[in-house]
Chains A and B, each alone.
Chain A
Amino acid sequence: MIQLSGLTKRHGDVLAVDDLTFTVRPGAVTGFLGPNGAGKTTTMRMVLGLDRPTSGTVTVNGRAYRDLPQPLRQVGALLEAQAVHPRRSARNHLRYLAQSNSLPERRVAEVLDLVGLTDAAGRGAGTFSLGMSQRLGIAAALLGDPPVLLLDEPVNGLDPEGVRWIRTLLRGLAAEGRTVLVSSHLMSEMALTADRLVVIGKGRLIAESDLDAFTESGVLVRTPDHVAFGRRLELAGARTRPGNEGELLVTGMSAPDVGRLAAAEGVTLFELAPRRTTLEEAFMELTQDSVEFGAAR
């Protein structure tokens, strides 16, 4: 379990993480989502004691990270996969990490095997492709067989096969009762991997709940009067947001009720269809006010 309470980090003028309070519980994969610069990496660095919080606290299984006697046995982390010495072999990279926490030497071979790097283990890590580096980073995270895992964009650079492999791996680790926090930009991937989602934007918590709550049923309406009808739907208690040209995405009202309302108001409908919002859309909607580095529209 990871508990954040009022966690805040300021870098000069930049409020990278702003009063974050949430809990990552064991036995589930928790997806950690947010646009670029939202503060995901900074949050994970604070969990690991690498960045000092400006204020607030974070504990792992009830203790501050720095008080863990042999941290790699408690928390496994993948932050930057390419943070390895280019001339040091993958095996030696894992060996020094294992030795630092008095882990048995055989764990090195075990995790190399687990991530499929046994044949490349003698090569300098600088010769690895991005995907191989990610695998090495995951091997390092699993070295101490930890009950808590923190992975910052682990699927970055992996091929479809690798993405599937990570998904199965993470789901398996969570099923064993471990706490798994994984950040990603790929909402579609999180939809398949995560049980719970924590969404942040500009360092603030935007949403925290089970995956199901993020994808809701809605109704797609296409009409020439979309502005006026949208307002009428809102008055009737539905929520709407604009879709493509002339489209409305309606939530909180069933398709038949939308149709009846249109008939009562004499509004012409070109299209009326039930629709399930995707996680992608939910994410866009949630974070549209907090995208810092969005492309100009």
Chain B
Amino acid sequence: MKAADAMRATGTMKAAGALRAEWTKFASIRATVVLSGAAVAVSGLLAWLFGSAATRDYTEATAAERLRFDPMDPAMRGVFIVQLLVAGLGALIASSEYGSGTIAASVAAVGRRRLVAAKAGMTVLSALPVSVAAIWLMFGVSMATMASHGVPTLGAGDPAALITLLVGPLVLTSLALVGLSLGLLARGTAAAVNISTALLLLPVFATVSPGWLRNVIGVYWPNTAAFRALSADPDLPRLLGLGILAGFTAVLLGVAFARFESRDV
């Protein structure tokens, strides 16, 4: 009993040490810190741009079109770009160690298992606040932009907005874990970011794809499925849409860990 407690205590201590080390690594290079700030800044900027564009469209729209207007649509349009930055943040947490070669020292210091766990923890710890800030800022700026021109908007407490504000950051954080997995698999920043960008932007081609493929990448693709689940009138059951992303993230992280565990550093 006592011994088991002690074991658990040192286990916790070791996990905490590995996580603190990840934090020092994260905070002591510019790329990760700048990218975090950029993700939030870009969110605000895009929200203002899309909010202004929506204001113009709304003023010129017919009465019928105005009825179909959903203010969440312009408010969240920027997420398509911001997701790339947040996923890039996750990728960088792994890939910056490959670029510099510190991966060997890090594995030697804490072992493969604890290193991946600490990196996953660090990814959540950095991506979650960034995602909350990004999505809330996006919402606030776009709603304020539209409201100032008399375009109808939603309050944060409105159910249609609330689900995005609460679950949206989790979706983005999940994409950061996808980025982390790709960083571990690709073992380099450029490769990881290219793959993650291709993966996340593929749904853009949905409209020009043949029918069955349009469904796969336009509806069931992990990031599309999750984003669609957040809309006021989802075309997938919400839990299914979010579940697809959660499942995809878990499988990818599992694969990345298994590869990392078995191969030479």
Contact = CB atoms under 8 A, between A and B. Distances in A.
A36 B110 CA distance: 30
A82 B101 contact: yes
A139 to B, nearest CB: 12
A85 B104 contact: no
Interface in A49-70: 49-52, 65-66, 69-70
A256 to B, nearest CB: 56
Interface stretch (A87-95, A177-185, A227-235): A87-95
Contacts of B110: 71, 100-101
Most buried by B among A50, A92, A93, A99: A99
B5 interface: no
Contacts of A45: 104, 264-265
B100 A79 contact: no
Given A85-B100, A96-B24, A49 B262 contact: no
A46 to B, nearest CB: 9
Nearest to B106: A100
Interface string B1-45: 000000000100110111011101100111100000000000000
Contacts of B17: 99-102
B29 A85 contact: yes
Given A80-B101, A92-B24, 11 more contacts: A52-B263, A70-B14, A72-B108, A84-B101, A87-B30, A88-B29, A92-B28, A96-B21, A96-B22, A99-B17, A102-B16
16 contacts: A48-B108, A50-B107, A69-B10, A71-B110, A72-B108, A83-B100, A83-B101, A88-B100, A92-B28, A99-B21, A99-B24, A100-B110, A101-B17, A101-B109, A102-B14, A140-B105
A96 B101 contact: no
A77 B108 CA distance: 9
Interface of A: 45, 48-52, 65-66, 69-72, 75, 77, 79-80, 82-89, 92-93, 95-97, 99-102, 140
A85 B98 CA distance: 10
Contact of B104 (A83, A93, A96): A83
Given A69-B10, A88-B28, A100 B102 contact: no
A156 to B, nearest CB: 16
Most buried by B among A48, A75, A102: A102
Contacts of B101: 80, 82-84
Given A96-B24, A99-B24, A86 B109 contact: no
B247 interface: no
B33 to A, nearest CB: 11
Contact of A83 (B25, B105, B263): B105
A85 B264 contact: no
Nearest to A102: B17
Contacts of B131: none
B100 A86 contact: yes
B111 interface: yes
Contacts of A85: 25, 28-29, 96, 100, 102
Contacts of B100: 83-86, 88
A284 B111 CA distance: 38
A93 B106 CA distance: 11
Given A83-B101, A85-B102, A102-B14, A96 B25 contact: yes
B29 A87 contact: yes
B111 A97 contact: no
Contacts of B105: 79, 83, 97, 140
Contact of B18 (A88, A89, A95, A100): A100
Given A72-B109, A99-B20, A99-B21, A51 B264 contact: yes
Most buried by B among A82, A93, A140: A93
Contacts of A140: 105
A124 to B, nearest CB: 9
B24 A50 contact: no
